[in-house]
Amino acid sequence: MKVLVVGGGGREHALVWKIAQSPLVSEVLCAPGNPGIAGQARCLSIGVEDIDGLLKLAQDEGIGLTVVGPEVPLVAGIVDRFQAAGLTIYGPKAAAAKLEGSKAFMKEILVKAGVPTARHATFTQIDPALAYIAELGAPIVVKADGLAAGKGVVVATSMAEAEAAVRDMLEGNRFGDAGATVVIEEFLDGEEASFICLVDGDKALPLIASQDHKRVFDADQGPNTGGMGAYAPAPVMTPELTAEALRTCIDPVIATLNREGARFAGTLYCGLMIVDGKPFVLEFNVRFGDPECQPLMMAMKSDVVPLLQAAAQGDLSGQSIEWHEGASVCVVMAAGGYPDTPRKGDVIRGLENLPPEPNRVVFHAGTTLNPHGQVVTSGGRVLGVTARGVDIKAARDLAYTAVAVIQWDGEHHRSDIAYRAMARIAD
């Protein structure tokens, strides 16, 4: 069977790497891909928003399964188009993908489903938004309603910062149409976890929990990013808490979407805040997290292809997932200037000097080739160095050993990925 992966970032590289290992797969294609992905898949220069081009490719190549990485084509209705053409595709249709496409819609679903979440309100006008900020006080969270590549969230520590964020989105047009509506919510103080499930429309099959690191600098300082690293499993998600999150946060949302005529099949990513041992939903995404996908694919012992097929075909009955012992860690290496104005075109050195290591992969996220055939930076998050070890320390050490070898002008990364899990070991 031929499999097509849509996307060209670190998440898609991890998916291609895992899918290519399946004995069910004869060839992996990726559109548009990147230089790292080209080592495991045939890359074609078709953009993720070119649904017509992607559909023609799948038809011409006789693709048996299409796996959509990023949220943009899902929100745009790529699954609707492929299914209408009789093709098997993994991901939610547009009506269900709105769960990520609109934070206001997501909050409506959470309220209807009775899911624990932060107190919140939605605004399109400055004055009522500012009045709500004054009512709640700081710290407070301001979110652009639409898709903003993981950067449309401001955790404001002061009233002035919150007011500036609202003005930036509603008046300054910082995120364009995505910020024409804002969701303002109370700040929840706790520990975050990424709880990701495969869903077939009725049932959810949970993956091990992971934990992302959103802030650009060590000790969770600086602005939010798309994610500077992740690890799995996240110790904060005990078996008891995992069962509670499935019962109180995941299952009610799947049932509510069904009642709303928006049946969900695909990846349901639940961003949780654990407050006093209880799970609260911060956000839902409708695809694998990036960078959470990287350590999850490395930790997964089972063949991922039958799982994706079963979910796409609407029946995960009898499916289970086996995981490797130990832990996996992904350290993101970013371009100079990220997350605001990342530099592009810097030559990446050291990739060829890494010794072969079966438990470590350098996933390409924002790379391309220059006219001289050199791998250069082409995005904010450039590489995701991912490793697996017998425990979190071994995985972390193996990843950072490679990070020390890879260099380019302006490169920066966090040196404290998985610090919460490390602290638990110390305790």
Residues 6+ apart with CB under 8 A from 154: 141, 142, 143, 161, 162, 165, 224
Note whether 206 and 196 are within 8 A (CB).
yes
Beta bridge partners of 196: 269
**Selection from 114, 116, 258, 254 nearest residue 197 by Cα:** 254
**What is the residue whose two structure tokens read 């996908």?**
293
Cis peptide before 356 (omega within 30 of 0): no
Beta strand ranges found along 202-304 (DSSP E) = 204-206, 211-212, 215-217, 221-224, 229-232, 265-275, 278-285
Residues 6+ apart with CB under 8 A from 102: 145, 146, 181
For 61, how many CA atoms within 13 A lie in the half-sphere containing its CB? 24
Within 10 A of 394 (CB to CB), how many other CB atoms are there? 16
Note whether 245 and 176 are within 8 A (CB).
no
Q: pTM of the predicted model, to two decimals? A: 0.94
What's 241's DSSP letter?
Answer: H
The predicted pLDDT at position 232 comes to: 98
Specify the 3-state DSSP secondary structure of 3: strand
Note whether 307 and 67 are within 8 A (CB).
no
Note whether 175 and 164 are within 8 A (CB).
no
**Helices 251-259 and 103-113: angle between axes, nearest 10 degrees:** 100
Domains of the chain, first to last: 2-91 (3.40.50.20), 125-180 (3.30.1490.20), 191-312 (3.30.470.20), 327-426 (3.90.600.10)
CA–CA separation, 119 and 117 (whole Å) = 7
DSSP 51-89: HHHHHHHHHHHT-SEEEE-SHHHHHHTHHHHHHHTT--E
Retrieve residue 222's tokens: 């600086």
The predicted pLDDT at position 277 comes to: 92
The predicted pLDDT at position 168 comes to: 85
Within 10 A of 247 (CB to CB), how many other CB atoms are there? 11
Retrieve residue 121's tokens: 């309100």
The predicted pLDDT at position 164 comes to: 87
The predicted pLDDT at position 231 comes to: 98
**Counting Cβ atoms within 10 Å, is residue 338 exposed (0-12), middle (13-18) or buried (19+)?**
buried
> What are the phi and psi torsion angles at 43 (to 5°)?
-95, 140
Beta bridge partners of 67: 5, 90
Specify the 3-state DSSP secondary structure of 392: helix
Tens digits of pLDDT across the chain (427 residues): 999 999 999 999 999 999 999 999 999 999 999 999 999 999 999 999 999 999 999 999 999 999 999 999 999 999 999 999 999 999 999 999 999 999 989 999 999 999 999 998 888 888 888 888 988 888 999 988 888 766 688 888 899 998 888 888 887 777 777 678 888 999 999 999 999 999 999 999 999 999 999 999 999 999 889 999 999 999 999 999 999 999 999 999 999 999 999 999 999 999 999 999 999 999 999 999 999 999 999 999 999 999 999 999 999 999 999 999 999 999 999 999 999 899 999 999 999 999 999 999 999 999 999 999 999 999 999 999 999 999 999 999 999 999 999 999 999 999 999 999 998 876 6
Bridge-based pairing of strands 360-364 and 278-285 is: unpaired
CA–CA separation, 9 and 326 (whole Å) = 26
Bridge-based pairing of strands 381-389 and 327-334 is: antiparallel
CA–CA separation, 231 and 425 (whole Å) = 15
The predicted pLDDT at position 4 comes to: 98
The predicted pLDDT at position 148 comes to: 74
**Helices 392-403 and 419-426: angle between axes, nearest 10 degrees:** 140
**What is the residue whose two structure tokens read 């959810």?**
204
**CA distance readout (Å), 304 to 13, 308, 385, 403:** 14, 6, 21, 27
Retrieve residue 395's tokens: 């995985």
